[in-house]
Amino acid sequence: MSMRVRTASSRIERLGLLVVIGIVTVALCAYMALIEAGHWGSDEYYIAAFNAASGWRSVLGRMVRWSPRPFSEAVSALYLTLCHGLRHSFVVPFLLLLWIGSIAVIAAAARRAGEARPVLFAAVLFVLALMLCRPDEMFYWPMATVAYLSAWAGLAAVTALRRADTAAVRPPSAVPMTGMLLLAAFSVEIGAVTVLLDAVLWVVVAPSRLPGRPEAAGFARSRLSAARAGLVPALAGVLICLSVYVSRMRPMVEVLDRSSLLAGNWLRSLHAAVPVFAHELVGVPGLPVLAAILLKLAILLVLPPPGASTGPAMRRRIVWAVSLLLGAFLSVVLSFHQFGMLCCQRHQTMRAGMMLLALVALAPSSALLWRRLPAGLREVTLAAVLLLLLAAWTPALRADLALVPGQMRARSESWSSARAPGDAMLFAVPPPGKLFGGPSWPSQTVRLRDGQVPAYGAEAIAAFFGKHEMTIVQARP
């Protein structure tokens, strides 16, 4: 009788796994199909035009004075140089490279951590990040994708490495951990803040000794390894935060809404951030609050650790999860403080991804409960979570997929007009999508004089293509 029960449970487990693979494949293909509608914003045209005029001096100046993101700024500079030289946007291959590269980085970390199915683990995390919030800028706008998705991939890889319980056997190599922490810190500021928070919490919270406890030696090795891995990224985080404070926070040059009285006021920004963060923590767009809470709690059950869960390993994960949540919360506070309002969609998507990683980091704490559940229930629950999210986003996916041909046509017409001889061009702005968003330039005619420094926005488009006159029209869907 027990043999039949085990056989039935094994069949359910295999069936559930196949369903999970199927849903992940369908979701990934559907969202990838929207990459054809990926779009440039003002940043690409503006930065590429200045880089072309000033060379790498402009790139280094931007890193030092405005955007201390060594990895993402260097990659985007190479990308924009190629685009400017060949007069082609290369949006689709660039976004595909970033998507596939992110999954590969997470899978490599998961494999090192001992995950049984590292590629599936990475794909599940990626699909959940796509569906727990509107993807928009973080996944379909190259300048944002290279920064925020790269940082999230680094944080996800660290999460995968922290899930491994190697401290009780041998100290884990500091090289992969250091590399992933640096990837997060060098891609976007909130990544640097999170890395710095992790280092500070580890120093403050983790005791140097646990006298009388059998795991003391393992924890000491774990703490030493964490210190080695986190030292350089923490120093990088300090430098990046200081750079942002000096160049952007102290002069307060990014205020978008002064009427809110939040800009520059830490106390009011902190107070305003609490309800926003709480709503994002428990909610999922398109789902009732109770369903969203149950869905996120289910994530704790569907991703058990690759190995045993000892005290030292659990402390490591808790510190990392708290760092992720504090980083997400500070993202809201800093948004109110810097802009006077909640900005922007890429920030919200990044926070949702960080909250997901906090759940994944804490998932090993549910290992005892998971082991008592019937075999196969984990796979069935994960399939249900993915299916619920995919069903919630299906109407938006269908609507946006119908817009893709129009997006491609508008981009082709604009760039063809720009490549044509003459001093004038036509630029077609397609309607934004529900998931992939898009720029919203009003219909107008822009004229540039010889030697005129273009303003950020529509003038930058004309400058990028070397035109003196550009007419912006609204493209049909």
10-residue stretch averages of pLDDT, the chain, 477 residues long: 54 84 97 96 90 83 88 95 92 98 97 91 98 96 97 97 62 78 96 95 65 47 61 91 88 86 93 97 93 92 67 81 97 95 94 97 70 73 94 97 94 93 93 90 86 75 90 88
Does residue 181 lie within any of the structural domains?
yes
- Dihedral sign, Cα of residue 402, residue 403, residue 407, residue 413: positive
- What is the per-residue pLDDT for 211? 42
Question: Do 215 and 142 belong to one domain?
Answer: yes
Q: Tokens 């802009």 sit at which residue?
A: 339
Residue 110, judged by CB atoms within 10 A of its CB (0-12, 13-18, 19+), counts as: buried
Given this model, what pLDDT does residue 114 score? 86
Nearest-angstrom CA–CA distance, 180 and 161:
10
pLDDT of residue 12: 72
461 and 386 belong to one structural domain: no
**Domain of 418?**
406-474
432 and 351 housed in the same domain = no
Cα distance between residue 56 and residue 37, in whole Å: 30
Residue for token pair 């305003």 = 272
Strand 424-429, strand 444-447: pairing: unpaired
Environment class of 275 (CB within 10 Å of its CB; exposed 0-12, middle 13-18, buried 19+): exposed
Is residue 381 domain-shared with residue 451, that is, in the same domain? no
273 and 213 both lie in a single domain = yes
In a domain, 5, yes or no: no
What is the dihedral angle through the alpha carbons of 253, 51, 437, 273, rounded to the nearest 10 degrees? -30
Is the same domain home to 413 and 325? no
| Assigned domain for 234 exists | yes
DSSP state of 67: -
Q: From 119, 130, 109, select the one nearest 320 (Cα to Cα).
A: 109
**Helices marked H in 114-188 — which ranges?**
118-131, 136-140, 142-144, 150-163, 174-187
Pairing of strands 444-447, 469-474: antiparallel
* Shared domain check, 183 and 157: yes
Q: Are residues 50 and 96 in the same domain?
A: yes
- Residues sharing a CB contact under 8 Å with residue 442, sequence separation 6 or more, in sequence order: 472
What 8-state DSSP symbol labels residue 255?
-
3-class DSSP assignment, residue 444: strand
**Residue 371: inside a domain, yes or no?**
yes
Q: Where does a domain end: 357, 383, 400?
A: 400
Q: Largest Cα–Cα distance of the chain, in whole Å?
A: 86
Q: Name the strand (E) or helix (H) holding 112.
A: helix 91-113
Strand order in the sheet with 469-474: 424-429, 469-474, 444-447
Q: Kindly state whether residues 285 and 266 are assigned to the same domain.
A: yes
User: Within a domain: residue 1?
Assistant: no
Query: Which of 336, 369, 400 is the last residue before a domain boundary?
Result: 400
Using an 8 Å Cβ cutoff, are 299 and 358 in contact? Answer: no
**Beta partners for residue 299, in sequence order:** none
User: Do both 382 and 412 map to the same domain?
Assistant: no
7 assigned to some structural domain: no
Report the alpha-carbon distance of residue 123 to residue 102 in Å, rounded.
10
Q: What pLDDT was estimated at residue 203? A: 81
**Predicted structure pTM score:** 0.92
Structural contact between residues 443 and 433, judged by C-beta atoms closer than 8 angstroms: no
Tokens 């129009």 belong to which residue? 406
Residue with tokens 């660290």: 158
380, 400, 420 — which closes off a domain? 400
Q: Is 113 left (phi over 0), alpha (psi -120 to 50) or beta?
A: alpha
Beta-carbon contacts of residue 247 (< 8 Å; ≥ 6 apart): 64, 65, 66, 68
Say if residue 425 is in the same domain as residue 361. no
Number of Cβ within a 10 Å radius of residue 172: 23
Q: How many domains does the structure of the chain reveal?
A: 2
Q: What is the pLDDT of residue 102?
A: 98
**Is residue 4 situated within a structural domain?**
no
Asked if residue 52 is part of any domain, the answer here is yes
Instruction: Say whether both 309 and 419 belong to one domain.
Output: no
